[in-house]
Chain A
Amino acid sequence: MMFTPDVWEVIWLSLQVTTTSVLIGILIGIPAGAFLGLYSFSGKRLIVILIYTCMGLPPVLVGVVVYLLLSRYGPLGSLDLLFSAEAMIIAQVILVTPIITGLTMAAVQAKENAYWETAKSLGASPFQLMVTIIKEARGGIWSGIAAAYGRAISEVGAVMLVGGNIEHHTRVMTTAIILETRTGNFSGGLQMGFVLLSISFLFNSFMMVGMLNQMKARKR
């Protein structure tokens, strides 16, 4: 496999779809997870069970549901998003948001008692309290983001269904691997897989460097 403009296009779209969906997942998942970790309310247990269940959502199922919602006769058919990068992002947001929410909740709960009481007794408003605890729990939250990024970039079932693997339009690395394999070009598929793994390795290295710097700063 050569790094032709077509290959770069596939890599670039993969990064765009994955990063956008993880960023949206962060915007939803971190506040939601922090809220669930900090506060008790009726129905919380059910919500927590649902989140943990959704952390293991089958991508193909998500793909089918998003496909039906976005198909011409579906409730969101008028948006004309099926077989687009936006549809792939929607599917991936559904997959990664529960992961970020669940792991943020666990990280916040681990820090909760002593820090919650200290921040509250110092006069933190509910919002300030949440921000303080998120800062304290950032190590665990980074892990959640890394897990979500790994899931998103390696995901194939949902993006294949709602994106359609259309060349120059919705082809990403994972769907390109499937295509290469189906056409008997195993070498091309493996090389694309290696590129995917390398991106994942680089992303996790950046995360690890950030976390190590944080740990060093804590020890200083």
Chain B
Amino acid sequence: MNRLELQNIAVTYDERTILDVDHISFERGKMYGIVGPSGAGKSTLLRVINLLEKPRQGSMGFFGTQVELSSLTHASGLSIQRQMGYVAQKPSMFHASVFDNVALGLRYRKLDRSQIQALVHEALQYVELSHLANQRANTLSGGEAQRIALARALVYEPALLLLDEPTASLDPSNIKIFERVIQMINLKKKTTILMITHNLPQARRLADVCLFLFHGRIVEYSETDTFFSRPACHELQDFVSGRMIC
């Protein structure tokens, strides 16, 4: 199965429904833009897929492997988790060098030293920060840290890359590099990418398919051109035209 599928996902906090997805699938090698107002459940969706959050119910088909999310443990979900990369809006850098931060995922996978060396240098070259390999990661600027977080997530060549507003606080030059890297790995490595963004031109620029989440539900799901030129639901029409929605 060349797709990621979610079925009957429900996340609730104190009786309040945060996410309610009947069914959705993501094709391998495509880039998806996830948009919607704050509190719509976008981050929760990515966290559920990345096994950081357990839904009340629901299952996931991860490129051929079917799992029941509500009963999955950390250990039993590990083989799936290791096929995903995740970049949050604010990256957490461990108190170590840039090299060690990028190498962490490879060390978890017990790769040997020479492989780690080669892969980390390749990833640092992608994000154009090879010269910072020996610098302490907590001394990086926000833009550099975010590019290192991207290198750290793609160094082990995940099948799925989850990006939660990764460029929200970056300047245009960092955004340009970030976008170029994700486009390149999407094309070269056929990595499936799910990216949350509030930057609609960015979603339009990068995504093959866009989703609109509203009050925890996916209310629109279509090819990017259609999504922006002929939005079907009125909430999305308002959202893309910049009108207030709540």
Chain A positions within 8 Å of B, measured between CB atoms, are 114-115, 117-126, 128-129, 132, 135-136, 217-220
- When the two chains form their complex, are residues A124 and B108 in contact, meaning their CB atoms are under 8 A apart? yes
Chain A residue at minimum C-beta to C-beta distance from B81? A123
- When the two chains form their complex, are residues A217 and B136 in contact, meaning their CB atoms are under 8 A apart? yes
- When the two chains form their complex, are residues A123 and B138 in contact, meaning their CB atoms are under 8 A apart? no
- When the two chains form their complex, are residues B136 and A119 in contact, meaning their CB atoms are under 8 A apart? no
Chain B positions within 8 Å of A, measured between CB atoms, are 50-52, 74-75, 78, 81-82, 84-86, 88, 90-92, 94-95, 104-105, 108-109, 136, 138-139, 152-153, 156
- When the two chains form their complex, are residues B78 and A123 in contact, meaning their CB atoms are under 8 A apart? yes
Q: Measured between C-beta atoms, what is the minimum distance from B13 to chain A in Å?
A: 15
Complex CA gap A60/B115 in Å reads: 57
Chain B residue at minimum C-beta to C-beta distance from A117? B52
- When the two chains form their complex, are residues A123 and B74 in contact, meaning their CB atoms are under 8 A apart? no
Complex CA gap A128/B104 in Å reads: 10
CB contacts (< 8 Å) of A117 on chain B: these are 52, 88, 92
Q: A118-B92, A136-B95 are in contact. Are A126 and B105 (CB under 8 A)?
A: no
Complex CA gap A45/B227 in Å reads: 49
26 A-B Cβ contacts within 8 A? A114-B90, A117-B52, A117-B92, A118-B91, A118-B94, A120-B74, A121-B52, A121-B85, A121-B86, A121-B153, A122-B105, A122-B152, A122-B153, A123-B81, A123-B82, A125-B75, A125-B108, A126-B74, A126-B75, A128-B108, A129-B74, A132-B104, A135-B95, A217-B136, A218-B95, A220-B136
| Number of interchain pairs (Cβ within 8 Å) | 58
Complex CA gap A121/B104 in Å reads: 11
- When the two chains form their complex, are residues B75 and A114 in contact, meaning their CB atoms are under 8 A apart? no
Chain B residue at minimum C-beta to C-beta distance from A218? B95
CB contacts (< 8 Å) of B81 on chain A: these are 120-121, 123
CB contacts (< 8 Å) of B156 on chain A: these are 123
Complex CA gap A132/B153 in Å reads: 17
CB contacts (< 8 Å) of A218 on chain B: these are 95, 136, 138
CB contacts (< 8 Å) of B88 on chain A: these are 117-118
CB contacts (< 8 Å) of A121 on chain B: these are 50, 52, 81, 84-86, 153
Chain A residue at minimum C-beta to C-beta distance from B85? A121
Chain A residue at minimum C-beta to C-beta distance from B138? A218
Chain A residue at minimum C-beta to C-beta distance from B104? A122
Chain A residue at minimum C-beta to C-beta distance from B73? A126
Complex CA gap A123/B156 in Å reads: 10
| Residue with the highest number of chain A CB atoms closer than 10 Å, among B51, B74, B136 | B74
**Inter-chain pairs besides A122-B108, A132-B104, A135-B95, 16 sampled, C-beta below 8 Å:** A114-B90, A118-B91, A118-B92, A119-B104, A121-B85, A121-B86, A121-B153, A122-B105, A122-B152, A123-B105, A125-B78, A125-B108, A126-B74, A129-B74, A135-B94, A219-B136
Chain A residue at minimum C-beta to C-beta distance from B137? A218
Complex CA gap A60/B227 in Å reads: 74
Partner of A115, one of B75, B84, B85, B94: B94
Q: Measured between C-beta atoms, what is the minimum distance from A125 to chain B in Å?
A: 6
